[in-house]
Structure 1
Amino acid sequence: MTFPRLLLLLPLWFPFTVASAQDKVPFVLDWATHSRSAIDLSRFLDAPAGRAGFVRPKGEHFVDGEGTRIRLWGVNLGGPSCFPSHEDAEKLAESLARLGINCVRFHGLDSNWGISSIDRSGGDTSRLDETSLERFDYLFDQLRRRGIYGNINLNVFRTYGDEDGLPDPQDLGLAKWATHFYPRIIELEEKYAVDLLTHVNRYTGKSYANDPAVLVVEIVNENSLVEGWLNGKLVGHDDNSGDTWSPLPTEYAKELNRQFNAWLIENRSAEQRERFRSDADLAANAPLVLLAPSQFSSATAERFATDQEFVVDTERSFLRRMKTLIKDEVGLKSMLIGDADHNDSVNGFPHMINNALFDYADGHGYWQHPSIGKITRTKNDPMVNDPSDSTMVQFARAPIVGKPFVISETNHPYPHRYAVEGIPLLTAYAMLQDWDGVFFHEFGRAVYDNPDAIGRNGWFNLSTDPIKVAELMCSALMWHRGDVQSAKQLIVRQHTVDEIMANSRMPSWEHRPFFDDAFAKTLPLVHRTRWRLVEKPVKAEYPPSPGINDIVSDTEQLRWQGADKNRGRVTIDTPKVQATIGFQRDAEHRSYPGIRHLSVDVKNDFATVILTSLDDQPIASSKKLLLFVGDRSANEDLTWEDDFQTVANWGNGPVAIRPLQGKISLWGLQSGGPLTTTVLGSLGQPTDETWTTYAKDGGWHVLLGNPVGSMAILER
């Protein structure tokens, strides 16, 4: 019988019981009407990008050529999305500007599918595709004209061809580990960097090495030889699938071990080398092989330190070589970084030390990144219930004293049931930490493709998700205006190189992300934190743990409550923005207390409500406010297996939202006229619809749910 099986295909909208059909309502993003939006954030952009000269680091922040601080609010464009037609490039640039985006990270110009900057027609990857580059040139110029900078990634999705002069290129996958040491691959990387950065844009008349609209160039994307070693990816395998994280094929592992033995001759005595051979039961003068993770615990401290030093040195040598090429020989005038901190399941600090060679520190991180492929699985836990492991805490390990910090990849990937918490939470705490940039991954092509559904495997696609796009608008206001104060106190974590290296032997999962057990994981939700290297060990003296029950920032503007009872809620309480994010009722099913200007009483169990000023005045005196109310968004026919973690049916759409039902109340508004509402369309287009408002008990109250919407303008 099939009937019991149908009961297992529960819809996305299931909170504790199956939601009724009317709970989900189609709410498609119509990008063709974006120009009619009442929310135009292009006023925060300084056009054209680069007008005031090259952006550079100054202390822990970025400044333009005039010395004015610049903070990055960005998105990624992935692979073929970097090469739209001219017409589509204009649409995309215009929409991104209206959303307040001031930088685009071009992530995958070297893509191995669809349109690419690499001409693969000859079976190799050593030549640029001039037709594709013309499209990229036009997009770059359209963005530049509107005040949007570019972040150029050099190595992301590159695979190699049979004519590239490499053994078994099909087994390399993305060559994550070989990029750092294999001579022929490094030659190809160098040629690509030179060719792309010296290429003269047909529309700007400048090379990418000499254009102030280029904010930064990134050398590699999540390629760490240290990570590869710690995760056992450097042991040779001949049965590779050739995917993103494939281990080294045997021929490449042999070359790495050849380099290891040559390094040992230069850096370790003959007596040490023979001692290593004896410990490994090898004959005299036999070549040594890098330790595998299964050997870490039994290896002597001397041997473990030796292998790790070689891996770290090899990675650093590659980064230095590329830095010399790009900055000194090519003459790049923009900023340069090597790679991002991106894997909190291993000790990432040796990798971060290597990347301290560059202009700023970078981080990547996702809340419960799905297991992707033929089957999509995601844990579907709310982040508000796990502050200690939140993405903000994970990111907080990477910022270095004296350098800016940027998050260049993050998302609550689709179809996570609690994704509505992600964007505003990250924005608020990034401001508390006084970080310098946030890039959401990735924007997608919906502006010109105009689909009515979230496409299959669109885990990261923002431009088809009406809730995330609306939150981008609200959060951009908060970010550009600096509505959330940076924390008053800075906590500096100090470590020696030896301490950091020794931490690689610690059980990663128990000690992540800081590998400093004296430092409470939730402290970054209260104070700013950075780390630095010191020559001698320093006894740590940190503030006490704030726990997870009631975490209040030292500015008192951010408050994280209820995680200890799995009813987490975060509030943002500032003069120009008020928000409540997460569960809207406590463990006793009572509505959480309101904040200064906002209280929420809705039937929805989990939601985000944001009230923000549109005229840049404090909410108390503002004449024009923007209200966002959001629960979930997904394809209308998306279904889950009974574990509520495995997608059973991706669905064909249309994309739908679960509207909020109930009321929100505004308090402490200065005297003015009646409160009127204009319900907005999915991109902020004004409609003729309104939400009912009434005054009572000294406040104004707004009834939600009919008509359906996620945003409204409130005027007095």
Structure 2
Amino acid sequence: MKKLICALVSLALGLNVSAQVPDKSWWTFTYNERASADTSLLNLRYLNERVAGEHGFIKLSKDGNSFTDVKGKPMRFWGTNAGSLAQQFNDRQLDSLARFLAKMGVNIVRYHGDINAKGKGTGLTDVDTVEIRNIWRCVATMKKYGIYTIISPLWPANGHMGGWIPAEWGIDGYSGRDDMWGVLFFNKRLQQGYKAWMKYLYTKTNPYTGIPLKDEPAVAFIQIENEDSPLFWTMSNVKPELKQMVGAQFSQWLIKKYGNSAGIKDTTDLIPIYDFTIPVTARTNPRLHDQTEFYTETLKDFYDDLVHYLRTDVGCKQLINGNNWRTAAQSRMLDLERWANSGPEVIAVNRYFDPQHIGPSANWRVDPGDFYGSPSAIKNPGDLPVNIKHVSGHATAVTESGWNLPNRYQTEGPLLVAAYGGLTGLDAYFWFTQTAIGYMANPYFTFLKVHGQHPLNRWSISTPGQLGMFPANALIQRLGYVKEANILQEQRTMKSMLNRDVPPIFEEQAFDPNRDFVVSNNKDQARFSPLTFLAGGVVSTYNSAADTVKLAADLNKLIDTKSGKVISITGEERLDYHTGIFTLNTPKAKAVSGFLTTGKEFVLGKVTIQSDNEYATIELVSMDGLEIGRSKKILLQVGTIFRPTDWAEEPATVTDRNKKELIGMKVINTGKMPWLGMPASGSISIKTKVIKKATQLDAAGYAVRKLGLSVAGESVSLKLPTDAFYILLEK
């Protein structure tokens, strides 16, 4: 049967299978930065401030929903998780990194590290001075190039925080090679240590700038902690000592709520998180509602206390973000998590587009023999990372995300983020993760061999298909080329949230585009499809007087599940998830992405894009702020499929841990450098009297050759070179 299935998969994929393995027609990707960037024709450094924070600290807009500078000018961020490269880079290398990122359109980085002291014998309030100096160095270097920084100072996962919890810290039950999930929210002693670490980080004078970080406007906002919550599965696996501590605090909470009545006593018999994820029935323990309320209030009190401490005791002037994590059931608890995080001004989340990668070491590398489904978000729009409920009065950031390797459809990612992020009002997006000054020359773990091959780094965005697509989309995101509009306003009462009622819409609903139904992984069903996120922004208000939903338009006119089409409320974004075509049509940005042989010609106002590429992302973006038909400088950016040299794969099927059958590919050979690009095939035409010249650029933005433009009436047209990547169209 399995052989039959594989044969059918091969037949169904047809040409799509044979095209995945690079052949001799694919072009070689190279990046050669010259000694001076002055002659580069594609350098977006001018978008950044002279120095980050030159006009003062980042603020919230009047309605609180977005970032501005002190003068009220909108500030939109296109970022990467590149800050922690300071751990391995010297000053010259760090400076080169900052210069490269600014050139690519980046105006913010995230430093993801751990500032606590590490190793046996260290004190609870001690800090890692080497890590903190690297943070200071990062902030100072990025600042010079107009790049802001946010700092992620703590992740309690095993192997982080130095990989060792010293017994000297006195954290009951935790020492040695332990993780610290959930501990910080309940353990007052650890909270004292955390406050000491943050106070040192933000109040000591940064020797590279002469001012402490608390007074540093180049720090855009402060992140308190990375990926932890008592509303997540990890709460069911805490140590007995922490359970006892939590139980004692819960008992005191119950006494405060109900009085010192009989039956309330310290207990470690806490209700497991699984019970939080299922509907209330007659058999549900009545104490579950109280425990839900206790966990949520404890979480909110924790963040509110940290905000007060950072503002009052430390003197920080920046905006603050609490956390960026999810819950054990997004349908029933995510709104509680977001409410608990609503004391700080910034709401954040970490979300990736999953390549359905399965293998023994798939959490960090790609081995020969691994399976991957390589879905396209264009055909699986319910999984788009920017499908986020925004919290009214708060800015929204995605602090970790990416189209991770070995996904072959990486080039769609930056366009979809810029397009739908702009539509829904996303304020900052951080790609995870930058692994080199520029493009990673060797994305392999050369110290390892599996079946005679080197494994590939699955987390790097320093690839042509991801990093290479930054410039056009940084322009779209940062210059506001996409019109923002909300489609749904939701109000929720604390009663319905604490009852864990399923809201009208929630994030990460499983959506099967072939069957057109909406369910979550725990069978909860929402009133509104996740396709609603593609029609416009979804905004939630918490602690309301009543549970209400208000729509700005008739969704039935925007979403057609029968034909597989979604149109945004603005009309600028159109998605056909059945055939796999996405188009963006705004006055200053035109783009198409997906499986272009299904459409071949795409008319977007004054621009027509023709292509018979199996898969490609083709964008035209104004570089001078004028509409495309009047612009004197346009970036034409082309991305297809990129694969390492000698990459090989074959059709395969696997069963995942949820016993769902996945159809995809088995990696036969992880290949070697350099990257190869599938040849571009097609042309573009523009109705314009302005554009007279076309220059093909290399990956570093330097002129390679002049291209011939064809003029017909008031239109110019250009046949795409097979190795098209960046092309500058000018007056």
Alignment-derived partner of residue 619 in structure 2:
610
Write the distance in 1 (CA, Å) between the matches of 2:203 and 2:622: 45
Give the stretch that moved more between structures: 577-586 or 75-84. Answer: 75-84
| Alpha-carbon distance change, 193 to 22 in structure 1, aligned in 2, over 3 angstroms | same
Query: Any residues of structure 2 matched to 1:623-642 within 5 Å, and which?
Result: 623-640=632-649, 642=652
- Alignment deviations for residues 535-590 of structure 1 (CA, whole Å, 9 cap, x no partner): 433443533342342322222211112x2xx312111112221100112133xxx5
Write the distance in 2 (CA, Å) between the matches of 1:373 and 1:86: 37
Number of residue pairs aligned between Structure 1 and Structure 2:
663
Alignment-derived partner of residue 31 in structure 2:
29
Alignment-derived partner of residue 484 in structure 1:
482
- Indicate conservation of the 8 Å contact 2:83/2:135, yes or no: no
Letter in 2 for 1:547: D
Alignment-derived partner of residue 430 in structure 2:
439
What secondary structure is seen at the aligned counterpart in 1 of 2:441?
A: coil
- The TM-score normalised by the length of structure 1 is 0.84
Give the stretch that moved more between structures: 76-85 or 210-219. Answer: 76-85
Letter in 2 for 1:632: I
Shift of 1:294: 4.9
Match of 2:685 among 629, 643, 666: 666
Residues 1:498 and 2:495 aligned together: yes
Write the distance in 2 (CA, Å) between the matches of 1:135 and 1:43: 26
Write the distance in 2 (CA, Å) between the matches of 1:655 and 1:272: 72
Letter in 1 for 2:149: G
- Indicate conservation of the 8 Å contact 1:659/1:709, yes or no: no
Match of 1:583 among 574, 585, 595: 595
Write the distance in 1 (CA, Å) between the matches of 2:130 and 2:472: 38
Match of 2:178 among 168, 172, 177: 172
Match of 1:185 among 190, 200, 220: 190
- Alignment deviations for residues 237-275 of structure 1 (CA, whole Å, 9 cap, x no partner): xxxxxxxxxx3233333332333333333334566847x
- Indicate conservation of the 8 Å contact 1:73/1:103, yes or no: yes
- Alignment deviations for residues 503-530 of structure 1 (CA, whole Å, 9 cap, x no partner): 3689986655998833342223223321
| Alpha-carbon distance change, 150 to 183 in structure 1, aligned in 2, over 3 angstroms | same
Alignment-derived partner of residue 234 in structure 1:
235
Write the distance in 2 (CA, Å) between the matches of 1:434 and 1:620: 26
Shift of 1:82: 4.8
Alignment-derived partner of residue 288 in structure 2:
304
Query: Any residues of structure 2 matched to 1:361-376 within 5 Å, and which?
Result: 361-368=347-354, 370=357, 374-375=361-362, 376=366
What secondary structure is seen at the aligned counterpart in 1 of 2:540?
A: strand
Letter in 2 for 1:25: W
- Indicate conservation of the 8 Å contact 2:55/2:69, yes or no: yes
Letter in 1 for 2:68: V
- Indicate conservation of the 8 Å contact 1:82/1:109, yes or no: no
Shift of 1:533: 2.0
Write the distance in 2 (CA, Å) between the matches of 1:652 and 1:249: 44
What secondary structure is seen at the aligned counterpart in 2 of 1:65?
A: coil
Alignment-derived partner of residue 406 in structure 1:
397
Shift of 1:80: 4.7
Alignment-derived partner of residue 375 in structure 2:
381
Residues 1:323 and 2:307 aligned together: yes
Letter in 2 for 1:224: S
- Alignment deviations for residues 100-143 of structure 1 (CA, whole Å, 9 cap, x no partner): 22211111244xxxxxx745474566433434443432332121
Query: Any residues of structure 2 matched to 1:206-225 within 5 Å, and which?
Result: 206-225=211-230
Letter in 1 for 2:560: G
Write the distance in 2 (CA, Å) between the matches of 1:495 and 1:472: 37
Query: Any residues of structure 2 matched to 1:519-530 within 5 Å, and which?
Result: 519-530=528-539
| Alpha-carbon distance change, 234 to 344 in structure 1, aligned in 2, over 3 angstroms | closer
Write the distance in 1 (CA, Å) between the matches of 2:58 and 2:141: 19
Alignment-derived partner of residue 161 in structure 1:
165
- Indicate conservation of the 8 Å contact 1:441/1:462, yes or no: yes
- Indicate conservation of the 8 Å contact 1:80/1:109, yes or no: no
Alignment-derived partner of residue 711 in structure 1:
726
| Alpha-carbon distance change, 38 to 343 in structure 1, aligned in 2, over 3 angstroms | farther
Give the stretch that moved more between structures: 376-385 or 337-346. Answer: 337-346
Residues 1:93 and 2:120 aligned together: no
Letter in 2 for 1:256: V
Match of 2:54 among 45, 51, 56: 51
- Alignment deviations for residues 22-45 of structure 1 (CA, whole Å, 9 cap, x no partner): 243331334566825321111111
- Indicate conservation of the 8 Å contact 1:663/1:701, yes or no: no
Match of 1:199 among 201, 204, 222: 204
Shift of 1:693: 4.3
Write the distance in 1 (CA, Å) between the matches of 2:338 and 2:14: 41
Write the distance in 2 (CA, Å) between the matches of 1:14 and 1:260: 60
Letter in 1 for 2:627: P
What secondary structure is seen at the aligned counterpart in 2 of 1:257?
A: helix
Alignment-derived partner of residue 350 in structure 1:
336
Letter in 2 for 1:714: L
Letter in 2 for 1:50: G
- Alignment deviations for residues 144-163 of structure 1 (CA, whole Å, 9 cap, x no partner): 12221111222134244334
Write the distance in 1 (CA, Å) between the matches of 2:672 and 2:623: 32
- Indicate conservation of the 8 Å contact 1:74/1:104, yes or no: yes
Give the stretch that moved more between structures: 117-126 or 341-350. Answer: 117-126
| Alpha-carbon distance change, 499 to 210 in structure 1, aligned in 2, over 3 angstroms | same
Shift of 1:352: 0.3
- Indicate conservation of the 8 Å contact 1:137/1:201, yes or no: yes
Shift of 1:351: 0.7
Letter in 2 for 1:665: I
Alignment-derived partner of residue 560 in structure 2:
547
Alignment-derived partner of residue 133 in structure 2:
134
| Alpha-carbon distance change, 658 to 23 in structure 1, aligned in 2, over 3 angstroms | farther
What secondary structure is seen at the aligned counterpart in 1 of 2:500?
A: helix
Alignment-derived partner of residue 468 in structure 2:
470
Shift of 1:373: 6.0
| Alpha-carbon distance change, 309 to 672 in structure 1, aligned in 2, over 3 angstroms | closer
| Alpha-carbon distance change, 524 to 20 in structure 1, aligned in 2, over 3 angstroms | closer
| Alpha-carbon distance change, 534 to 656 in structure 1, aligned in 2, over 3 angstroms | same
Write the distance in 2 (CA, Å) between the matches of 1:251 and 1:628: 56
Query: Any residues of structure 2 matched to 1:248-263 within 5 Å, and which?
Result: 248-263=238-253
Query: Any residues of structure 2 matched to 1:113-128 within 5 Å, and which?
Result: 118-120=117-119, 122=121, 126-128=125-127
- Identity of aligned pairs, percent? 19
Write the distance in 2 (CA, Å) between the matches of 1:547 and 1:210: 51
Unmatched 5+ stretches in structure 2? 1-6, 446-454, 511-517, 654-662
Unmatched 5+ stretches in structure 1? 1-6, 111-116, 236-246, 275-284
Shift of 1:197: 1.3
| Alpha-carbon distance change, 100 to 661 in structure 1, aligned in 2, over 3 angstroms | closer
What secondary structure is seen at the aligned counterpart in 2 of 1:664?
A: strand
What secondary structure is seen at the aligned counterpart in 2 of 1:654?
A: strand
- Indicate conservation of the 8 Å contact 1:28/1:654, yes or no: no
Give the stretch that moved more between structures: 426-435 or 622-631. Answer: 622-631
